[in-house]
Chain A
Amino acid sequence: MRRLTTFWLRYRRNRGAVAGALALAVILALALLGPILYPTDPFDMVGRPFSLPFDRFPLGTDVAGRDILAGILNGGRVSLLIGVLASLSATIIGVALGAVAGYYGGRIDDLLMRTTEFFLCIPSFVLAVVLVAIFQPSVVTVTVAIAVVSWPSVARLARGEFIAHRDREYVQGCRAIGMPDWEIILLQIMPNALPPIIVVSSLMVATAILTESGLSFLGLGDPNLVSWGYMIGVARTVLRTAWWMAAIPGVMILLTVLAINLVGEGLNDALNPRLRKR
């Protein structure tokens, strides 16, 4: 409890991070509660296409006469869900592989890190496109594809942290009292290695949302769900005549990514032990 309080005291010092957290909370609330409070189906043609915002519908309608606000609220759900799930799975895979590689070193390390580098060599967006295109686009495949292209950076970071910690005296002390390796990895090193990883994976949510938007924009999103990227993709043909149609989801992506980045920065300040001492 006390640790949480001091964490908040430190986090609070970064004003941008507090603003980011607020913005993120609002976006989350909209995505979670919005479709319940505003239960219009985003695929329903509710009115005339190209209706202006603040006219009959709060944010107007798109090229097919679908309610843009409903799209934003439902799309937010999809974007955030895919972003969070993809980053979470990428973090778990990355940390597991990085921890093993870093703690044991030697051949295991060589093998795992060559694999990691293989993934890092391929442009991640292209790989994601290929993966989604091979397996039919759906929420699951998109999430998996994004996780597959994101884990290597976490693995590298986790490996670095574990290498830095494995020869510290506290770890050697644990080996000297006969602690098994899994306990050293999970209970001793992990809590110390986690802060920078939390920062990176929180920032990864933003990247994942962008990747998902990019995939949807290219028509590789789940065809049964609206997402922000999909909305931009639909609106791109009429960008000259109805710019707001692309701008509204665009601004939402921008705000979300910005908010997550600010929160990530704040987490970094609050969790980074080097800054802590000041």
Chain B
Amino acid sequence: MADGTPQVASAGGAPILEVRELVKHYPIRGGLFSPSQMVHALDGVSLSVARGETLAVVGESGCGKSTLARCIIRLEQPTSGHILLKGADITVLAGRPLRELRRALQIVFQDPYASLNPRWSIASLIGDPMRLHGLVARGERRGRVASLLETVGLGPEFMDRYPHELSGGQRQRVAIARALAMQPEVIVCDEPVSALDVSIQAQVINLLKRLQRQFGIAYIFISHDLSLVKHISDRVAVMYLGQIVELAETRAARRRVLHPYSQALFSAAPVADPQAAAARKRIILAGDVPSPIEPPAGCRFHTRCPYRQDRCAREAPQLRAVEDRLVRCHFAGEPGFPPETSA
């Protein structure tokens, strides 16, 4: 799919889904005497994904990646910005057109224990989308459910079971089958395996990859697990406090990342290899992520950045093209910045 030339926009043709300058601010109600405040969950996020492509969005809790997922599939209304599906603006759709849109755009949630209603059988959970959108005639629904179950690696005997009778991995497969029932073109995967056991994670990831090959689905893959992201994605966006700080092809990001935060994040991720772990120099950031209620002025990362300078506190850097990628840092691209840390 990649044609060899590094691209910052989606590889392989026109984007199927595009997000432009998305902003989401939540008000939190103040007390009687304290004014209400705003949580800056997303501040101007732009990205796109092409057919059959996987775009990973990584970051720590509070960086806005889950809000992004929920805004994209229109579970939340963005404060400003646009979401385009196949070129059509879907940001303000409501009612019937919004329900129609749901077909193309699906989500798989993190916790398969919470995302399936315990009161309904697997057959009705997977059959719901078909019923609601009139995709499959009533009499043929069970057959279609069975074939979807088979697609996700479960037998037809699961049809009449209830979620509590299934293991975490099996439930996640059901959740995926439910999303597939709509024949979507984009699936937002919000930490789809982080609630699962290691050996089960591999099963689900392999399933997602197989489905992508088979149906050409585009994934927006939200995760905090960097080694997983490096494995599954074509491009990766690193988020910090509601902004993208670096957006690059995964292959390029594996070699090297240019934003100091990406660098710290990538170096902090544990690697299942004791020799590599011993050889590697970790950058351990001081402190915690600042509150998204009052994000730091200037560069949002400057309070924790090991290379900060006076300018960083004063002036907010823009996301700009550096080499083969986009980076939000004043100094990225200067020779020897950021200092190399890993072999």
Query: Real complex partners, A and B?
Result: yes
- Tell me if A176 and B106 are in contact (CB < 8 A): yes
Decide if B132 is an interface residue (CB 8 Å cutoff). Answer: yes
User: Which A residues are in CB contact (< 8 Å) with B75?
Assistant: 172, 175-176
Alpha-carbon separation in the docked complex, A178 to B135 (Å): 13
- Tell me if A169 and B103 are in contact (CB < 8 A): no
Decide if A168 is an interface residue (CB 8 Å cutoff). Answer: yes
User: Which A residues are in CB contact (< 8 Å) with B132?
Assistant: 177-180
Mask: chain A, 176-196; 1 = CB below 8 Å from B; 0 = not: 111110000000100110000
User: Which B residues are in CB contact (< 8 Å) with A176?
Assistant: 73, 75, 102, 105-107
User: Which B residues are in CB contact (< 8 Å) with A188?
Assistant: 117, 119
Among A155-178, those with CB < 8 Å from B are 168-170, 172-178
Among A22-47, those with CB < 8 Å from B are none
CB contact between A170 and one of B105, B116, B133 (< 8 Å): that residue: B116
Q: Which residue of A lies closest to B110 (CB)?
A: A169
- Tell me if A178 and B102 are in contact (CB < 8 A): yes
- Tell me if A174 and B117 are in contact (CB < 8 A): yes
- Tell me if B114 and A168 are in contact (CB < 8 A): yes
Alpha-carbon separation in the docked complex, A173 to B100 (Å): 15
> Smallest Cβ distance from A92 to chain B, in angstroms?
20
Decide if B210 is an interface residue (CB 8 Å cutoff). Answer: no
Number of chain B interface residues as a range: 20 to 34
- Tell me if B178 and A173 are in contact (CB < 8 A): yes
Alpha-carbon separation in the docked complex, A191 to B75 (Å): 23
- Tell me if A192 and B118 are in contact (CB < 8 A): yes
User: Which B residues are in CB contact (< 8 Å) with A191?
Assistant: 117, 119
Decide if B128 is an interface residue (CB 8 Å cutoff). Answer: yes
- Tell me if B118 and A173 are in contact (CB < 8 A): no
Decide if B64 is an interface residue (CB 8 Å cutoff). Answer: no
> Smallest Cβ distance from B185 to chain A, in angstroms?
14
User: Which A residues are in CB contact (< 8 Å) with B194?
Assistant: none
Decide if B254 is an interface residue (CB 8 Å cutoff). Answer: no
Q: Which residue of B lies closest to A173 (CB)?
A: B115
17 residue pairs from A and B, CB less than 8 Å apart: A170-B116, A170-B117, A172-B75, A172-B109, A173-B115, A173-B178, A174-B128, A175-B75, A176-B107, A177-B106, A177-B132, A178-B103, A178-B129, A178-B133, A180-B132, A192-B117, A192-B118
Show the binding face of A for B, using Cβ within 8 Å.
168-170, 172-180, 188, 191-192
Nearest 4 pairs of A and B residues by beta carbon: A178-B99, A178-B102, A169-B115, A191-B119
Given contacts A170-B117, A177-B102, 11 further A-B contacts (CB under 8 A): A168-B114, A169-B111, A169-B115, A170-B115, A173-B175, A174-B117, A174-B128, A176-B102, A178-B98, A178-B99, A178-B129
